[in-house]
Amino acid sequence: MKFDKLFFMLLAMLCLSGCSKTVLPSDDDQGEETGKHVPSASPDDEQKVYSVEEFLNGEFGNRYVWVHGYIVGACKRSIKQAEWEPPFSYDSAVLLADSPGESDPEQVISVQMVGKQMKEEIALASNPQNYGREIAFYGLKQKYLGIPGMKKHILASEWLDE
């Protein structure tokens, strides 16, 4: 009987000593649980601000980049539902272009309005005065609304006309 107890205690100690914490990407201090990626760009790359045309034609991988353009419309669900002139009813995304009057879907990118603050400060439904304003966004290039753009992983924005 003592041998059985000793055997089970030894077995339990062996099993417990083999346990260790597995670090998953969401447990890593460099990323957040929301799935945000850590920028892999060098400081020189982070300073480059791409035009909409450069952004459309560029291959950036998982690297965060700056892109600037004029807000030329609002959209939700698909580029086919784009609103190109006021009044605007969508606050899900804005459309950026290199020129303020652009309305060709192949010449614009979509930027998701991530969170309440972006919707309140940038989205055209709440801020029609932002139509035609120049702005820059820092994020990952991804397909959004059926066209190239930025969604979810947008870390910063900055008005360029102030």
pLDDT tens digits along 114-156: 999 999 999 999 999 999 999 999 999 999 999 999 999 999 9
Structural domains for the chain: 49-159 (2.40.50.200)
Taking the C-alpha atoms of residue 11 and residue 5, their distance in angstroms, rounded to an integer, is 10
Residue 40: pLDDT over 60: no
Taking the C-alpha atoms of residue 153 and residue 60, their distance in angstroms, rounded to an integer, is 14
Cross-strand bridge partners of residue 95: 73, 110
Q: Is the pTM of this model over 0.85?
A: no
H-state helical runs in the chain: 2-17, 43-47, 52-57, 115-121
pLDDT tens digits along 58-103: 999 999 999 999 999 999 999 999 999 999 999 999 999 999 999 9
